[in-house]
Amino acid sequence: MSSGFDLNHPISVPDKPALEGLEQKWTARWESAGLYRFDRAKSREEVYAIDTPPPTVSGSLHVGHVFSFTHTDLVARFQRMRGKAVFYPMGWDDNGLPTERRVQNYFGVRCDPSLPYDSSFAPPEQPGKQPVPVSRPNFIELCARLTVEDEKAFERLWRHLGLSVDWSMTYATIGRRAQHLSQLSFLRLLGRGQAYQLEAPTLWDIDFRTAVAQAELEDREQPGAYHRIRFARADGGFVEIDTTRPELIPACVAIVAHPDDQRYRPLFGSEVVTPLFGARVPVKAHALADPEKGSGAAMICTFGDVTDVVWWRELGLPVRAIIQPNGTFKAVTWGAPGWEATDPSAAQAHYDQLAGLPPTKARARIVELLKQSGDLLGDPRPITHAVKFYEKGDRPLEIITSRQWFIKTMEHRERLLQRGREMKWHPAYMQTRLENWINGLAGDWCISRQRFFGVPFPVWYRVREDGTVDYDARLVATEDRLPIDPSTDVPHGFTADQRDRPNGFSADPDIMDTWATSSITPQIAGGWIEDPDLFARVFPMDLRPQAHDIIRTWLFSTMLKSELEHGTIPWKNAAISGFVLDPDRKKMSKSKGNVVTPLALLEEHGSDGVRYWAARGGPGADTAFDPGQMRVGRRLAIKLLNASKFALSKSEPTGPITAAVDRGLLTNLARLVRESTEDFENYQYTRVLERTESFFWFFCDNYLELVKARRYGDHGAELAASANSALLTALSAFLRLLAPFLPFATEEIWSWWRPGSVHKAAWPTEAEILDASCGEDDRGYLALFFAAEILGEIRKKKSESQRPLKTPVARLVIHAAESRLELLPEFEQDLRSSGLVQEINTLASDGFQVDVELAPESGPPQRPE
RNA sequence: GGGCGGUUAGCUCAGUGGUAGAGCACCGGCCUUACACGCCGGCUGUCACAGGUUCGAAUCCUGUACCGCCCACCA
């Protein structure tokens, strides 16, 4: 393979090789040589394409990113050396709430989508107390300004870590291309009926004041209490129910019990009256009601939880909504249509004490009222229960009826399950996560958010003559205009002054869920639409690397979009990284104050050292943060420098590899290469590192020691030539095997004696090594390990005798099976020099034993000073 | 409540039917012309627990416990 630089390559080994400074040296050279540029002349079969996860730029990179991005880079480097043109872009996720919050605080502004774009706007020097309102396009500009700085810092870190990304191919999830394709994808789905708008009860965060999707929920254990409440029956009796949300009694539209529940069967079809508000509500039967829970009867409110929504829909109940988008109780006129009460003024008097309050305060208040009225039976019984939260939110979600955009998912579930099975998962069991998620889907994907910083929907609506918006009269942007912002752009046939005017138009105020954009990262990176030639060469991609916590979001939504747009899987492989754990097995997170700055780690242990630690965490494996392993990796890199210096320092003469131990070494190395190639193809990079490392240490500790004298010429030129050639062959293979893991040390060493970059060198092959050593040599293989074993016994004796290793051995008696003793001539000379052995005797024996007789200590011991 | 992983030396982890392993840590020793950012040696185990299959189980099966994670209609 060709490479772009350093074609002059005299062997030149530094006196004191060191790791320090290699990151700066080589990142600069790789960049100037364009080493990792994607070669778009290659056909799809010759390409290995990666759908890199775009890190969130408004946060900071942490050690978990370093961990998982290293895994991807290992695979990228391997595939590149296998001859693939590696498509390895980098995206920046600057879309969404985290950035929105950061921009608000940093510049002291607030997005007001109703404002027109002001091209001369400049943010305040210092953020003031009152945020300055700005238009959405201005807000997005500020965002781009801030994130561009973050992105530079991220890129520096990634380069320092040695990621072999093609830095000419970056994208941002709020970038023009991402906006264009997000809107285009939306419009096409809309055109095909796969996207639709609906006014329906939706999960709602009252602080962010936006709808959220099922995928963004999380359960949190919260303290709560069962309140036993009585509802009056017409016959003067009562129905008792338990509720954790008594404040929703004014929103109660029915009571429900299980159809088979004998206690309530007589009541089905009758009406009861809500306490405090005197609303008549029916008693209904539904199979979801659990006779075991509470009293067996429950009140249905619009809406307390998702079960209420099911009951409301399936039982055909009316809506009596009381919670507003900001979470407070809205004003209600009791006695008005929909709010009928037996005593409207009493109901009003009670309700007025709740209006304007948030749910928790309203709950406390209504408990007082219920106590006074006698409708609260006994004391509230405290419990702990799981409550749904928006994953970024601070207060429990409410369910609020609102107009939202959805993408159809429910009708594609079976096909998506099949697509999941078409992919290879690393590790395989992660596929179960996807299947669990798909099987548990409760509804279509809500993609609209009532936020500002994100990709807007390219849609306007007609405004009626009376000034109300006609949501059925959609004005959809044409594809050639994209990307557009409907809050400043004007639909065809209208003028700007018709915005929000009678008979004019009004913009869709919402933006897309961040996953609606992230779900097309393969299309954004691969040039879908604007570069069909590139797209054909990279899509469907080979690899999606990501963490397991976003299988239900990023992975799933990307599969959905790919299915709907292209009818294929988006990638052939999904490699799922684990988390980095504290030593106490908890997930590392900022809130625990245990986050280490990645750059400091890289500087302390060297990028190769940190990569070594990361590479030891296999696919899917949660891995402990362990600086000890980074030190081990660093030592491996240093050892590689020094062993290479030895191998290259006196590399003449070379010649045929004839000595048995030399051929044995290469025989073992050839097997290692074969197995490592298979392992790497299967994303088992951890095994490659482990085995290569292990054999490399054997190579250093035993083989190098055995052949040291010989390669210096002590046993003649021919045997020296065999040793030198074997050393160079082995070194070349070791460097290439370790190049994905230790890109800096291996590149440095490669530059001492080989042309080009090790990262563009061909991955070693079994055949190549066996060619160099004229085929496999099992006898040599056995001889090498036998020699190493005897050498170990000699060292042991010296160590136990507390004598220097250079102490001569006067006499060696080797007890072993005849079949092994017969190998001795193959390595006798090497053994004599490396162990400083004077006399060797052998004794046929069933077991293995070595008697070592050290030379007497020479001269009188020196007196300490 | 359902599911997925895990449990092996003080620590981090390999090991998927054939005599329990590595590195780190610890202890002892060694200036050995590649490396003192080094080298050599040593110590360390009810393979979570209980049954079962097998000539033989860390490994396969059943169950249990604990840890972590994912999911769930949570009144």
Q: pLDDT tens digits, residue range A683-722?
A: 999 999 999 999 999 999 999 999 999 999 999 999 999 9
A548 touches strand B (CB under 7 A): yes
A669 touches strand B (CB under 7 A): no
Strands A571-577 and A424-426, by their bridges, are: parallel
Q: Is A228 helix (H, G, I), strand (E, B) or coil?
A: strand
CA of A258 to C1' of B17 (A): 54
Output the pLDDT for position A588: 59
A350 touches strand B (CB under 7 A): no
The yes-or-no verdict on residue A219 having pLDDT over 90 is no
Mean pLDDT, rounded, for A630-636? 96
CA of A15 to C1' of B1 (A): 67
With CA of A306 and C1' of each nucleotide, the nearest comes out as: B73
A392 touches strand B (CB under 7 A): no
Ramachandran region, residue A131 (left: φ > 0; alpha: ψ -120 to 50; beta: rest): beta
Element (H, E) at A32: helix A22-33
Say how far apart CA A728 and CA A319 lie, in whole Å. 80
A700 touches strand B (CB under 7 A): yes
CA of A13 to C1' of B21 (A): 37
Output the pLDDT for position A858: 61
With CA of A434 and C1' of each nucleotide, the nearest comes out as: B70
Residues 6+ apart with CB under 8 A from A102: A58, A146
A861 touches strand B (CB under 7 A): no
- Which pLDDT band holds residue A590 (cuts at 50, 70, 90)? very low
The secondary structure of residue A323, as a DSSP letter, is B
Mean pLDDT, rounded, for A432-450? 92
CA of A661 to C1' of B44 (A): 34
A803 touches strand B (CB under 7 A): yes
A649 touches strand B (CB under 7 A): yes
Better pLDDT: A102 or A732: A732
With CA of A694 and C1' of each nucleotide, the nearest comes out as: B22
The yes-or-no verdict on residue A739 having pLDDT over 50 is yes
Mean pLDDT, rounded, for A617-625? 91
User: Residue A172 in contact with residue A147, Cβ under 8 Å?
Assistant: yes
The yes-or-no verdict on residue A585 having pLDDT over 60 is no
CA of A512: how far to CAs of A16, A186, A409, A460, A770, in Å? 57, 10, 16, 15, 58
CA of A807 to C1' of B25 (A): 30
A549 touches strand B (CB under 7 A): yes
Say how far apart CA A263 and CA A239 lie, in whole Å. 10
A581 touches strand B (CB under 7 A): yes
A433 touches strand B (CB under 7 A): yes
Mean pLDDT, rounded, for A406-428? 94
With CA of A258 and C1' of each nucleotide, the nearest comes out as: B75
With CA of A637 and C1' of each nucleotide, the nearest comes out as: B37
Element (H, E) at A821: helix A818-821
pLDDT tens readout for residues A759-772 = 999 999 999 999 99
Mean pLDDT, rounded, for A467-484? 96
Chain A 167-226, CB < 7 Å to strand B: 214-215, 217-219, 224, 226
A70 touches strand B (CB under 7 A): no
With CA of A579 and C1' of each nucleotide, the nearest comes out as: B69
Q: Where are the alpha helices (DSSP H) in A682-777?
A: 685-698, 704-711, 717-738, 743-753, 766-772
CA of A81 to C1' of B14 (A): 27
Output the pLDDT for position A174: 84
Please, is A395 exposed, middle or buried when counting C-beta atoms within 10 Å of its C-beta (0-12, 13-18, 19+)?
A: middle
CA of A181 to C1' of B40 (A): 63
Please, is A624 exposed, middle or buried when counting C-beta atoms within 10 Å of its C-beta (0-12, 13-18, 19+)?
A: middle
Closest CA to A46 of A9, A8, A79: A79
CA of A205 to C1' of B11 (A): 44
The angle subtended at Cα A300 by Cα A298 and Cα A301, nearest 5°, is 135
CA of A436 to C1' of B53 (A): 33
User: Residue A522 in contact with residue A562, Cβ under 8 Å?
Assistant: yes
A809 touches strand B (CB under 7 A): no
Chain A 81-120, CB < 7 Å to strand B: none
Protein contacts on strand B: list nucleotides below 7 Å from a Cβ. Answer: 2-5, 11-15, 22-25, 28-32, 34-35, 37-42, 67-75
A500 touches strand B (CB under 7 A): no
A836 touches strand B (CB under 7 A): no
User: Range with the lowest mean pLDDT among A132-146, A193-207, A654-668, A684-698?
Assistant: A132-146
A307 touches strand B (CB under 7 A): yes
A691 touches strand B (CB under 7 A): no
pTM of whole model > 0.90? yes
- Which pLDDT band holds residue A221 (cuts at 50, 70, 90)? confident
Residue with tokens 């798909």: A438
The yes-or-no verdict on residue A865 having pLDDT over 60 is no
With CA of A649 and C1' of each nucleotide, the nearest comes out as: B34
CA of A61 to C1' of B39 (A): 39
Output the pLDDT for position A3: 37
With CA of A427 and C1' of each nucleotide, the nearest comes out as: B5
Residue with tokens 């009532």: A450
- Which pLDDT band holds residue A595 (cuts at 50, 70, 90)? low
A621 touches strand B (CB under 7 A): yes
- In sequence order, the β-bridge partners of residue A487 are none
Q: What percent of chain A has pLDDT over 90?
A: 79
Closest CA to A693 of A777, A633, A641, A746: A633
Q: Is A470 helix (H, G, I), strand (E, B) or coil?
A: strand
A363 touches strand B (CB under 7 A): no
Biggest distance spanned by C-alpha atoms of chain A: 117
Output the pLDDT for position A859: 53
Say how far apart CA A150 and CA A154 lie, in whole Å. 6
Strands A623-624 and A809-816, by their bridges, are: unpaired
pLDDT tens readout for residues A369-403 = 999 999 999 999 988 888 899 988 889 999 999 99
Please, is A209 exposed, middle or buried when counting C-beta atoms within 10 Å of its C-beta (0-12, 13-18, 19+)?
A: middle
A591 touches strand B (CB under 7 A): no
- Which pLDDT band holds residue A591 (cuts at 50, 70, 90)? very low
A701 touches strand B (CB under 7 A): yes
A381 touches strand B (CB under 7 A): no
With CA of A690 and C1' of each nucleotide, the nearest comes out as: B14
With CA of A638 and C1' of each nucleotide, the nearest comes out as: B37
Output the pLDDT for position A9: 60
Would you call the peptide bond into A10 cis, given omega within 30 degrees of 0 as the criterion?
no
The yes-or-no verdict on residue A586 having pLDDT over 70 is no
CA of A113 to C1' of B16 (A): 60
A314 touches strand B (CB under 7 A): no
pLDDT tens readout for residues A106-151 = 999 998 878 889 999 998 888 888 999 998 889 888 988 888 888 9
CA of A665 to C1' of B17 (A): 30
Q: What percent of chain A has pLDDT over 70?
A: 97
With CA of A684 and C1' of each nucleotide, the nearest comes out as: B14
A240 touches strand B (CB under 7 A): no
A849 touches strand B (CB under 7 A): no
Say how far apart CA A342 and CA A353 lie, in whole Å. 19
Residue with tokens 């399936």: A314
Closest CA to A46 of A537, A570, A543: A537
- Which pLDDT band holds residue A11 (cuts at 50, 70, 90)? confident
- In sequence order, the β-bridge partners of residue A254 are A300
A864 touches strand B (CB under 7 A): no
Mean pLDDT, rounded, for A561-588? 86
The yes-or-no verdict on residue A862 having pLDDT over 70 is no
CA of A811: how far to CAs of A283, A650, A730, A844, in Å? 101, 31, 33, 17
